[in-house]
Amino acid sequence: MKKDLYKQGYTQNRELSWLHFDDRVLNEAKDKTVPLAERLKFVSIFTSNLTEFFMVRVGSLIDMAKANYEHVDQKSGMTPSEQLAAIYPFAKRVCKKRDEIYADLKKKMIKAGIHDLSIAECTKSEMKDIRKFFRRQCAPLLAPQIVDIHHPFPNLQSGVTYIAAILKYKNSSNFSFVPVPRTVPAVIRVDDGRSIRFVHTEDIILEMLPEIYPDAQITEAMKITVARSAYVDADDEAFEEILDYRKKMLKVLKERRKMNVTMLVCSRKPSQRFAKYILSNLKITKRELFVCDVPMDLKYAFSLGNMLSEEEKAQYLYPPYEPKLTPAVDFRRNIFDQVQEKDILLSYPYESMEPFLQLLKESANDPDVVSIKITFYRLASHARLVDYICLAAENGKEIDVLIELKARFDEQNNIDYSERLEDAGCNVIYGFEKYKVHSKICLITRVRNGETKHTVLVSTGNFNENTAKQYTDLSLMTADERIAADAVSFFQNMAIGKLDGTYQSLLVAPVSLKQTVIRLIERETEKKEKGYIFAKINAATDEEVIEKLKEASCAGVKVEMIIRGISCILPGIAGKTENISIRSIVGRYLEHSRIYIFGREKDEEMYIASADFMTRNMERRVEIACPIYDSGIRQRIHDYADTYLKDNTKARILYSNGRYHKLKDGEDPFCAQEYLMETAVESGQTIQKGPQRPAVTAFKTKFEKEKKKKKKKK
């Protein structure tokens, strides 16, 4: 790898590239071809993306800048301080753009009969209902706090909306903070059913401050929220004495609540006194202060559809789409047996995750299935998949679950699941020190008449029933002996903490994935103009891979890349990356599948993977890339890739200056996601339910168990 990569002029900063991605998400909110209520969702997604960016990426940069760690980013030549100096103005510009888009959407919603009201716009009758709602449902839940000599400045939590105010009494003046309860709805309807009129709960609490503080004069009040750094490493020395990893992660979550503030958002420009007070207490400057004219809680956009009539839903929402049951599976037959006969590819969200869930359910009740081994990274909040795994354990199967407790922002959910799985009798192990287990693999073993057979599922995305309806991913179900043998080795190695195992077919990070990707790029480079590389990934940041792709381009290799988010490599630069083309697709579904293709025809090697071309994926995580051997599935993945390369409506082309542009007009509109929905074949089959068991007793929470014990004692 060459040093000072940025001096070669074909790379860009990772963080600024990510901000450009979030800007592309925001652009969907002003796309006239997107239904009105869906456009509002993109405003919400943009905002939550930006908040997470400030919690994770900006948090780590601030830590480095405060420590005078002036390491130069090899893709841009920028120090942490210089990156921060570029990030904050950029973020404030796109937030202003977001506010303008939101204001325009509100006007369009009014024309559609959907009124997002301010308190001042409510009628007397509506205000009567609002006060009733506040007194009955909000007031009992409020926990207002005055800051004075007896009450310190509160520890404001990330993602919580607060009503901040200055209170004036006869002989004193105090600041106060009222957290908006998360248990009340974000908006309430105040209409009579003939039109849609709603107000935001945060605005109601702001309006009702005089009732909360009846003895005070409110001299200034506004809504605020903060983002805190989430950059807490469980492997830091501060946690080394905690031997139970689950307890360690709980400690990490507590520490996160006290981390540096990276962003303060106010609903109006604060006075000099207010700004000085809150900035000094949060230990930040005006750089971190954002003034935004949108609701603090925008998640209501996802429940807006519940207010619409069927006719309005058809007009203002995407047409409903239910993932199809793949015709590759006969649901009247045992799925394990079918996988023994042929490989099966599932394409989410166009096809349903149901075949995999049914496979697990069948395996849980199959007396010949002896073991199930699986990795979990992010799970649905109510996962049937976990139900079947626990059922299998109760039925005496050997169940090994490798669950990653360090999955950022899903730590608590995974901790809860780990307890449930252990209660059911599963053998639960966690990730490794310094490494996250991000691979998605399941191994089912059946012994019948003395013969051992395996079924393996490898996926590009999480085993999550909710995101399987929202993210595009590929899952391969196979009994190929080469892949099965590696899957057996993989779980054996994970059980004993061996990260440097040897595999024949699977590419496993941190051992062989990066090395093989580089070797295959070099192989194509040797072919010069006859070489070919295709990659559909979420991000490209690894310096060595980027350097090798540049060398391939210089040799004449055609490199086609679909990179949803961060791209640190700039295409189309003469003499360097002129043979590389990069596009990003942002649409109804989150593009999440990873596909690598090296070479053509007989020389081709194709993989689906859990890893992006990022250093963290290839060197600091346990990832898997699975080869595709079946010719029919290879052709299907080629068709899938070609479909995305034809997209000219949601695709944006990355230019050599780092900007993204739509394709030129004049072509017949073609949307890859819409095409794949339209062409997904419905099998027409119904899933045979079979006898249903009662709920698994192991699923009862510790609270429920304790409650039962107390009743027995009584």
- Which residues are the active-site residues? 438
Alpha-carbon gap, residue 326 to 347, rounded angstroms: 9
The 3-state DSSP class for residue 587 equals coil
507 Rama sector, left if φ>0, alpha if ψ -120 to 50, beta otherwise: beta
Residues 6+ apart with CB under 8 A from 327: 681, 682, 683
User: Given the structure tokens 């595009």, which residue do they identify?
Assistant: 472
**Helix extents (H) in 196-271:** 201-207, 209-212, 245-256
Alpha-carbon gap, residue 514 to 352, rounded angstroms: 31
Distances (CA, A) of 302 to 43, 277, 379, 500: 11, 35, 20, 44
Alpha-carbon gap, residue 580 to 239, rounded angstroms: 45
CB of 576 closer than 8 Å to CB of 545: no
User: Which amino acid is located at 148 in the chain?
Assistant: D
**In terms of Cα–Cα distance, which of 568, 559, 558 is closest to 615?**
568
Alpha-carbon gap, residue 229 to 250, rounded angstroms: 17
DSSP state of 694: P
User: Given the structure tokens 């909306």, which residue do they identify?
Assistant: 161
Alpha-carbon gap, residue 197 to 204, rounded angstroms: 14
Centroid of chain to Cα 277:
35
Beta-bridge mates of residue 348: 473
Alpha-carbon gap, residue 295 to 547, rounded angstroms: 44
Cα four-point dihedral sign 505, 506, 510, 515: positive
Alpha-carbon gap, residue 255 to 218, rounded angstroms: 34
Which token pair is 682? 């419905």
User: Which amino acid is located at 474 in the chain?
Assistant: L
CB of 586 closer than 8 Å to CB of 25: yes
CB of 546 closer than 8 Å to CB of 568: yes
Helices (H) and strands (E) in the chain, counts: 21, 27
SS (H, E, C) 498-544: CCCCCCCCCEEECCCHHHHHHHHHHHHHHHHHHCEEEEEECCECCHH
Alpha-carbon gap, residue 435 to 544, rounded angstroms: 20
φ and ψ of 346, to 5 deg:
-105, 135
Burial of 250 (0-12, 13-18, 19+ CB in 10 A): middle
CB of 501 closer than 8 Å to CB of 509: no
Task: Give the containing element (helix H, strand E) for 643.
Answer: helix 631-646
Burial of 143 (0-12, 13-18, 19+ CB in 10 A): exposed
Which token pair is 118? 């301010």
**In terms of Cα–Cα distance, which of 199, 190, 165 is closest to 179?**
165
Cα four-point dihedral sign 539, 543, 548, 552: positive
Alpha-carbon gap, residue 520 to 515, rounded angstroms: 9
**In terms of Cα–Cα distance, which of 290, 461, 500 is closest to 376?**
461
Alpha-carbon gap, residue 74 to 59, rounded angstroms: 19
